[in-house]
Amino acid sequence: MWIDTPLFDRSAVGLEGIDRVLDILVDAGIRGIVLGPPWAAEVTETPEQGRPHGPFTDKVFRESLRVHIGAKPIYARWFHAFKPDERLYRFTRLKPYKAPDRGGKPDIFKQILKSSKEKGLSVLLLVEGATPTVFLNPPEGSVMMEDVLGNEMGYNCPNDPEFPEYMEAYMRDSYQNYPEIDGFMIDHLEFPSYTISEIFACFCEACRQKASALGYPFEELKSGARRTYKRLAYLTPDDIVAISTARSGILDSFAAFASDRELSDWISFKVESLNALFETMRACTKDIDPRLELDIDCVTASFALLSGVDLRKLHRYADFVNPKLYTTPDFWGWRGRITEYLKTLTKLNPRLSEQATLRLLHRIFGMELLLGGRTLEETLGAKFPQRVLSSEAQKNLAFLGDMAKLRPWIRLDIEVEELDNLLRALTETDVEGVLVRSYEVATEEKLNAIRRFTTA
């Protein structure tokens, strides 16, 4: 179960509440928690009272917050839960975000950790990779991601040459503060692709240097990406036929737009960059303490390669891999992503129907749920059946190739019927464990569904 403050603090209401909640989790068969990221926030509900979650780089972020947190956007003043140890960061230009004074508040993470260990729960500490500025502050001095048109995206770029050094320092710092943890979970270590414009990134200065070091022709990758983006914005009837008759798969479909080599090189460049980082994270974790476990989070198999994550390689670096099996309509979920892609494509190409766009997206991602209806509403409005959810779970397993390392991340903020379908799909796929998110919306019924899964 992921314990993400401040949402968790609010739903559990104080330490006594947290202690009670941990008992409920143990009772539901939960054996461990993911804690963090170790940031705390003072949350207010009017913009005058606090720093906004911003800057917003995309409307989707704003909408996502509304869906995720409730009717009102919330505003927060973030600070590290612990005081960063400056000595650890002396070899890197990047420094932890300089937080406002937290006024001597007790570190809630220390207390949750202590209580969890007493109850026999294992604890992973969540550490952010490419940090979305909309929620947290990336390290100070970060190089920010840029799309192919030069727009700054809302994340620090993991290809910043000093980023691995920073991550190592931050993980050591966290361990000094929470030596009882059982491991780390690395979240968002990716080139995000949640929106169409994000797909066409990153082309920042750090990526240029990295490409040159790895022997990729950066200018060619960039012009290939720019040309593909432009063609997506002016789809001709011939393009649509070309894609609709291509075999399923990102490369096949994208090859209809640009030369194959540029596209596969571009994806390989992202994959190679991230694999080098995963390797560093693994070495660093085991160097800190060999008993520590390393979990790596990623998006679901259908979208992973687009984010530069090659699931087939992750078993080399991670003890467990956590693909996001999020069906939700928010920014990270499948409904949110598909809606964003479809709306952007039909806006760029006013003559493209929803049905044709859904078919096109199905060709690109091979995701079975995209065949659910003729319109967006028909496709995403109904609850996903077990069969559709099984196909995506199995795809994750097939790509990862190692059942023992698959531990998908699921959410409780979906309807109980869909949650049941998802958990049945996972049981059918013989998945042994899941990470559960969104305790704040757990109901008796949903916890029962989890209990059925953990005891199956």
User: Interacting stretch for Zn ion, rule CB under 5 A, among 8-16, 203-211, 369-377, 430-438?
Assistant: 203-211
Q: Counting contacts by CB under 5 A, is residue 202 touching Zn ion?
A: yes
Q: Tell me how far CA of residue 422 lies from CA of 186, 243, 303, 388, 394, in angstroms.
A: 24, 30, 18, 9, 12
Q: Residue 182 or 272: which CB sits closer to Zn ion?
A: 272
Q: How far apart are CA 9 and CA 30, in angstroms?
A: 19
* Two tokens, residue 354: 């929803």
CB of 192 to Zn ion, least distance (A): 12
Judged by CB under 5 A, which of 74, 204, 301, 380 binds Zn ion? 204
234-253: contacts with Zn ion (CB under 5 A):
none
Q: Counting contacts by CB under 5 A, is residue 277 touching Zn ion?
A: no
Measure CA 105 to chain center: 29
User: Interacting stretch for Zn ion, rule CB under 5 A, among 86-94, 195-203, 302-310, 351-359?
Assistant: 195-203
Q: Counting contacts by CB under 5 A, is residue 92 touching Zn ion?
A: no
Q: Counting contacts by CB under 5 A, is residue 207 touching Zn ion?
A: yes
* Two tokens, residue 287: 């160097």
User: Interacting stretch for Zn ion, rule CB under 5 A, among 99-107, 205-213, 252-260, 409-417?
Assistant: 205-213
Quick note: the x/- pattern for Zn ion over 122-151, rule CB under 5 A, is ------------------------------
User: Interacting stretch for Zn ion, rule CB under 5 A, among 154-162, 217-225, 277-285, 370-378?
Assistant: 154-162
CB of 157 to Zn ion, least distance (A): 3
CB of 145 to Zn ion, least distance (A): 5
Q: Which residues pair with 76 in a beta bridge?
A: 43
Q: How far apart are CA 290 and CA 293, in angstroms?
A: 8
Helix, coil or strand: residue 178: coil
Q: How far apart are CA 70 and CA 86, in angstroms?
A: 37
User: Interacting stretch for Zn ion, rule CB under 5 A, among 158-166, 182-190, 233-241, 385-393?
Assistant: 158-166
Q: Residue 165 or 413: which CB sits closer to Zn ion?
A: 165
Q: How far apart are CA 265 and CA 257, in angstroms?
A: 15
User: Interacting stretch for Zn ion, rule CB under 5 A, among 168-176, 196-204, 275-283, 359-367?
Assistant: 196-204
Tell me how many residues contact Zn ion (CB under 5 A). 6
Name which of 88, 124, 32 is nearest 318 in CA terms.
124
Q: Residue 126 or 153: which CB sits closer to Zn ion?
A: 153
Q: Counting contacts by CB under 5 A, is residue 221 touching Zn ion?
A: no
Each as own residue / partner, the long-range contacts of residues 302-305 (CB below 8 Å, 24 or more positions apart, any chain) are: 302/365, 302/366, 302/367, 302/392, 302/395, 303/193, 303/337, 303/365, 304/399, 305/250, 305/267, 305/271
Q: Rounded to 5, what percent of the chain is helix, strand, coil? A: 50, 15, 35
**DSSP H helices in 28-162:** 59-69, 108-118
Judged by CB under 5 A, which of 64, 131, 159, 193 binds Zn ion? 159
* Two tokens, residue 138: 């990336």
Q: Counting contacts by CB under 5 A, is residue 157 touching Zn ion?
A: yes
Q: Counting contacts by CB under 5 A, is residue 211 touching Zn ion?
A: no
Q: Residue 126 or 206: which CB sits closer to Zn ion?
A: 206
Kindly list the residues in this chain that would bind Zn ion in the complex (CB under 5 A): 157, 159, 202, 204, 206-207
